[in-house]
Amino acid sequence: MIKVLIADDERLVRTGLRVVLNAEPDLTVVGEAADGTEVAPLAAELRPDVVLMDVRMPGMDGIRATEHLLGSVQPPPKVLVVTTFENDDYVYEALRAGASGFLLKRSRAEEMVQAVRLVANGDSLLFPAAVRELALHHAERCTKAPLPLPRLTDREGEILRLMAAGLTNGEIAERLVVSPETVKTHVGSVLAKLRVRDRTQAVIVAYESGFVRPR
């Protein structure tokens, strides 16, 4: 069972998300927060697997709430940002802060459910094209010199590029003709070397460093 905490200042939005998620046999909403300051204490108490985080909330916005949550609750839950505009700078900053993906408020019920499952599972990138677009847009606007990546093996670099392209572990295994377990091991090594918690942050680092460039 995937446990979900909903953080949104609009009661109607929280109610709608609760109804959609609780209708699924493998999902359950364990709590709600109406303000960003409530998220970390509730997560520490309820231990959700996924937090649906509104990016704009009073008191503490979704970016700071994500940073506080991931820095104070161990092990941290996955964070899925819920937003109105996918190209919002707030969304990108939330992803950089540690969110694993984002979900548009206008998404269909089945898309919301699938997004929660995908983020909870963590072996693929949620909306890879949109994440790449956000990362590339930010990298193009950034005036600072890119930070060098830690040294990766040739295989790790190859896997990072395939992760950035949006491939799942299974798809990477098929592409490289290796076992899924081997891919999982390499992905773990890449995340550890980059000092990031999941694939989304790895892709952001890959683009911001210039290691992965658009064709």
Angle at 207 between CA 202 and CA 212, to 5 degrees: 100
- The whole model's pTM is what? 0.86
Residue ranges of the chain with pLDDT lower than 70? 86-88, 139-147, 214-215
Cα 207 to chain centroid distance, Å, stands at 16
Q: Give residue 132's Cα distance to chain centre.
A: 13
pLDDT of amino acid 215? 58
Residue 153 to residue 133: CA distance in whole angstroms: 26
pLDDT of residue 129: 78
Per-residue pLDDT tens digits for 94-111? 888 899 988 888 889 999
Domains of the chain: 2-121 (3.40.50.2300), 137-208 (1.10.10.10)
